[in-house]
Amino acid sequence: MPTLLRLRAAALTATAVLLSTVLAGCGDDDAKDEDLTRQELSWKACPAPDEAQGGGTPPSPLPDDGEWQCATMKAPLDWDDPKGDTIGLELIRVRTTGDASERIGSLIFNFGGPGGSGVTALPGFAEDYETLRTRYDLVSFDPRGVGRSDPVICENDQQLDAYFQQDATPDDSAERTELLDSTTEFNDACEQNSEKVLPHVRTTDAARDLDLMRQVLGDDKLHYFGISYGTELGGVYAHLFPKRVGRAVFDAVVDPTQNPEQGSLGQAKGFQLALDNFAEDCVSKTEECPIGNSAQDVKDRIATLLKDLDRKPIPGVFPRELTQTAATNGIVQALYSQDFWEYLTDGLDQAYDGDGSILMLLSDSSNGRSENGEYDNSAAAHTAISCSDSKPRYDTAFVERKLPEFRAASALFGDYLAWGMIGCTDWAVAGAADHPDVSAPGSAPILVVGNTGDPATPYEGARKMVDALGKGVGVELTYRGQGHGAYNSKNKCVQDAVNGYLLDGKVPQAGTVCT
């Protein structure tokens, strides 16, 4: 699932759109290598993000002069051989603003993906979590295979330009062969360039890293804020280490009961719902909607645009053209947040006049491409982690059988998400399971926040997560809103409930609804 796209959307501005799998017998054992559990981290001023993290400048101090610090934590490369080779995991933190007597510990964030750099994401979102910093050090990290943490590397920038421009919704046998060949070449490049780390990037590995991190940071319990894929990681942690869960929040919740096919179909429905809401919003405004006279007209014109682009792309960001695939990807990107619907309106309006630059920049943002043409490693890491986690391997014949069901879910996004299921075909590492095990009997309460308008992790997943965690563990909170996630919507009801639990241990009443 392309849940990391919400992180990319944070880069948009009004003036520039830059846009069982569990290792047997290890559930509640302490990390076996005492040297690693007792390691002392050398915290220093954070460097500028490297290419795998997306590039840029070092994170700026927070308004209260809170300084960002980075460190590298050693973890076993292979958790089956904890005294063997190690891997370096990059961490970032900012210290609490409160008194030492009020400090609870570290609050560790995972913002989603899989494949998103937490080291670059946390500074971008930190002001949203200032209230939580009154009692916690805010901490995030690049999971293994991501960013600075021994990144998975697949194709180079030029190859990725071609990879993301390919026709992702083939119409005939020649296009299907081309798509499958391109996917195979990408996956082969991952194996060739990242053979050592590729077998060790499963979510169960990252969950064990989290527990080592908890110990190295000096906390008896893991206090955790997981968003999107971060909810899956948190659920797997709770399953492996239920007695070590402290105060935890899951926001934008992945359905842990779904296999990749079911997840992709759910996203087709979710993005169609978001598109419906976007179209209704545009035509409901007092000023004239520039991209349609009715909600149906808005959607019909988008469908026509995509069909036209399949036949003949238009100028995008020179020298590249806006293809049907790039346009679809750009539309999906903008639907992650209601805050970016205005960019989608502008991008469509310009595309109808033959200018595809905004939609292409939106697509670039989701793919991790910077203005200078360099890609971060988010796409490579997303593929590596997803394919290592998920057992099913879908071929073109399977996708063709499923196309009618996907098209019924979304005429616009059905083909796009159905064909995305072949991404793990011929992957070098066997997938672990159909879906993660998140059952966590004996865990402390986990606050599970679902958004009724979430396109990427549909609302129904929150209830499925609550049920899968087990009786007395998951506590469901509903936000009736739009976009991917709830806390960053700045809805006071949601934030009061989350803050009340993380800061004061007040568990909200199950079934609470925020509007």
Active site residues: 228, 454, 484
Pairing of strands 105-110, 136-141: parallel
**Strand, coil or helix: what is 265?**
helix
Q: Rounded to whole angstroms, what are the CA distances from 464 to 26, 225, 249, 255, 449?
A: 26, 19, 15, 6, 12
β-pairing verdict for 474-482 and 446-453: parallel
Amino acid symbol at 400:
E
One-letter amino acid identity for 365?
S
C-alpha gyration radius of the chain: 22
Q: Is 327 helix (H, G, I), strand (E, B) or coil?
A: helix
**Helix, strand or coil for residue 136?**
strand
Q: Where are the beta strands (DSSP E) in 265-387?
A: 314-315, 321-322
Q: At what angle do helices 203-217 and 229-240 cross, to 10 degrees?
A: 70
* Token pair recorded at residue 104: 């609870």
Distance of CA 236 to the CA centre of its chain: 16
Decide: 260 and 417 in contact? Cβ < 8 Å: no
CA dist., res. 423 & res. 417, Å (int): 11
d(CA 468, CA 464) in angstroms, rounded, equals 6
Stretch (H or E) spanning 222: strand 222-228
Residue 178 CB burial class (10 angstroms; 0-12, 13-18, ≥19): middle
Q: How far lies 166's CA from each of 74, 181, 357, 442, in Å?
A: 39, 11, 18, 48
Residue 446: Cβ within 10 Å count: 26
Residue 319, preceding peptide bond in cis (omega within 30° of 0): yes
Q: How many residues does the chain have?
A: 515
